[in-house]
Structure formats: C-alpha cells, structure tokens
Structure 1
Amino acid sequence: MSEFRRLTIADKDLFNEYFNAWGKEKDSIVPTVTNMNQYLSFEQFIQILGERETSYEVLNTTLFYIEGNKIIGSSNIRHYLNDFLINTGGHIGCGVRPDKRGQGYATVILAQSLKFLSSLGVERALITCDEENIASRQVILNNGGVQDISYNREDGNITNRFWIDIND
C-alpha cells in the first residue's frame, strides 16, 4: 500500500529513517525544505511545513510518498510562481531516497504532485531540472513535459524548463 501525504508529529521515526537513508547526501537532500539539519527539532520541522502552506513568500506544500513502512521520496509543490521560480525552480521539486532510485518512484511522485497542483486550480505546471540531470529530465518527459527555453544561470549552469498541461 502506498500513500502521498503530509507528515504529522507521529511520523518522527518514519522520517528519521528516511533522512538517515540519504547518508552522505543529506546536505543535498531534495527538496531542500526536507533537510532536517536546518531545524531545531522534528516538531519545528512539521510546524514550519504547515506554516509554508499559509504564510510564506510563495505558498507551498510538502508531501511524502510512503510505501509500506518507508518514506520513498518527497515533493515540494509551489502553489504559484515568482520570478525566481519561473526561471529555475518551477512548481515542483521532488527527490527519491538513494536506495530507491531508478525504480520508477520519481515518475510516480511527480505524477502525484501534478494531481495535487491540479487540485489547487493550476492547469499548467512548470518543472525544471539542471541540464546535466538526465534522470530528472526523463521523469519530466515521462509525465508529459514539453521543453521550453532553457535558463542560463549566473553560475554558468543551465536549467532546463518544461511545461506540463495538467488534466483532471
């Protein structure tokens, strides 16, 4: 059985196992909002995720894909876009724990994220990835992404931009 949902205080052990599964990649966990190292406690983490849905520069929701007794990955879904997100961030940022990559989970997580975004009334989603991230590019294409003009960042890297029409 799988579910795609917000975490609660009761999910502390479940999340800790997920966060630890990132191993040496903890500092580059995606989405970055799920990096536990930036919070004082799990309780603060849950509180801030809730606040980001109602009172943040760009309202956003973080959902976790849980299968069995493990968090497989998560997604940060921006309810709308600002100038920065139009160029480099897009509507959705998602990640899969290292030991579950290459098994189709990212495609599922992005599809579930698009459904959530549709429930907010968004009809067209912008999804981005770094040009060299072939796996993310394939996940976006698997979900119907159509490439738009890429964005050249100040650091010299290129962000590929894709649009996905969301159908209910």
Structure 2
Amino acid sequence: MFEFRKLKREDEAAFLDYYNEWPVPDEMVPSSTNFSRYDHFEQLLEGLNHQESGDDWVKNSTYFYFDNGRIVGAGNIRHYLNDALLETGGHIGYGVRPSARNKGYASAILQHSLQYLETLGVDKALLTCDADNPASASVILKNRGIEAEPFIQADGMKVRRFWIHI
C-alpha cells in the first residue's frame, strides 16, 4: 500500500530507518527532512509543523511517501515562491532513499506534490536541480517539465530550472 502523508509520532522507527540509510545525513533531500538539526523525533515533527505555519519563511509542507509502511522518499512543497526560490529551489524538493532509487518513486512523489499544489491554486510549478544531477532532471522532464533559463549561483554552480503546468 502506498501513502503520501505527513509524519506521525508512530512513524519514528520508519523515519529513523529512512534517515540512517543516507550516506551523508546532512545532505538528505529535501533539506526539510534533515534530522541532524534536531535532538529527537518529536522536535522534527514540531519543526515540520512550524514550517507549515509560514511564520519564519515561505509556508511549506513536507509529505513522506510510504510503500507498505516503509518510507521510500519525501517531498517538500512550497506554497508560493519568493525571489530566492524563483532562482533556485522552486515549488517542490524531493528525495528518495538510496536503496529505493530508479523504481519510479521520485515520479510518484512529484505527481502527488503537484496535486497538492493544485489544491492551493497553483497552476504552474517551478522545479530546479543542480546541473550535475541528471537523474532529477530526467524525472522532471518525464513529468511534463519544460526547461527554462538556468540560474548561475554566486559560486558558479549552474541550476537547471523547469516549469510544469498543473
């Protein structure tokens, strides 16, 4: 059974299993799922709820994709874009645990995230990825992404930008 939903207290073991699979936990994608900044799981839940309040930054929601109770990936959905997110970041960030890659989960997370944005009244979503991430670019292109002008960061890193009409 597949589910795309927010974390609950009873998901702690599934989340820790997910978290521990990332080779460099500080590089978890999306960054909203980076557990290393919290002291315990309850703080992560509080942090995710706070992000959804929009008090300190762009309002965003983080959903996890479960396959038979196992977390295989996550999507962070920004409800609107500020200037910085228009350059790099976009509406949706997603990631799939290493052992679950190349199985269609990224596309599923992207599709669910786009459906969520549609409920918010967003009709065109921006997605970005680093130029050296062909796997992410491929997922975006397979899901109706139309490539726009790239953004070059101050450090010279090229960020590819894509629009998807919802």
- TM-score of the pair, normalised by structure 1: 0.96
Matches within 5 A, 1:146-165: 146-165=146-165
Q: Confirm whether residue 43 of structure 1 aligns to residue 56 of structure 2.
A: no
- Return the alpha-carbon distance in structure 1 between the equivalents of residues 150 and 113 of structure 2: 22
Q: Secondary structure at the match of 1:46?
A: helix
Cα displacement string for residues 60-103 of structure 1 (whole angstroms, at most 9, x for unaligned residues) = 00000000121000011000001110001000000000001111
- Specify the alignment match of 2:52 in structure 1: 53
Q: Report % sequence identity.
A: 48
Of the structure 1 ranges 47-56 and 6-15, higher mean CA displacement relative to structure 2 is found in 47-56
- Return the alpha-carbon distance in structure 1 between the equivalents of residues 27 and 51 of structure 2: 20
The alpha-carbon deviation at position 41 of structure 1 amounts to 1.2
The alpha-carbon deviation at position 25 of structure 1 amounts to 2.5
The alpha-carbon deviation at position 56 of structure 1 amounts to 3.3
Give the aligned residue type for 1:148. Answer: A
- Return the alpha-carbon distance in structure 2 between the equivalents of residues 56 and 78 of structure 1: 13
- Specify the alignment match of 2:105 in structure 1: 105
Cα displacement string for residues 127-168 of structure 1 (whole angstroms, at most 9, x for unaligned residues) = 0001111000010011100011100111111001000000xx
- Return the alpha-carbon distance in structure 2 between the equivalents of residues 142 and 117 of structure 1: 18
Q: Secondary structure at the match of 1:138?
A: helix
Q: Secondary structure at the match of 2:45?
A: helix
Q: Secondary structure at the match of 2:160?
A: strand
Q: Confirm whether residue 76 of structure 1 aligns to residue 67 of structure 2.
A: no
Cα displacement string for residues 99-143 of structure 1 (whole angstroms, at most 9, x for unaligned residues) = 011111111111111001111111100000011110000100111
Q: Confirm whether residue 132 of structure 1 aligns to residue 132 of structure 2.
A: yes
Q: Confirm whether residue 9 of structure 1 aligns to residue 9 of structure 2.
A: yes
- Specify the alignment match of 1:31 in structure 2: 30
Give the aligned residue type for 2:77. Answer: I
Q: Secondary structure at the match of 2:52?
A: coil
Give the aligned residue type for 2:79. Answer: H
Which residues of structure 1 form unaligned runs of 5+? none
- Return the alpha-carbon distance in structure 2 between the equivalents of residues 36 and 150 of structure 1: 30
- Return the alpha-carbon distance in structure 2 between the equivalents of residues 133 and 111 of structure 1: 19
- TM-score of the pair, normalised by structure 2: 0.97
- Specify the alignment match of 1:89 in structure 2: 89
Which residues of structure 2 form unaligned runs of 5+? none
Matched pairs, number: 165
The alpha-carbon deviation at position 12 of structure 1 amounts to 0.7
The alpha-carbon deviation at position 4 of structure 1 amounts to 0.1
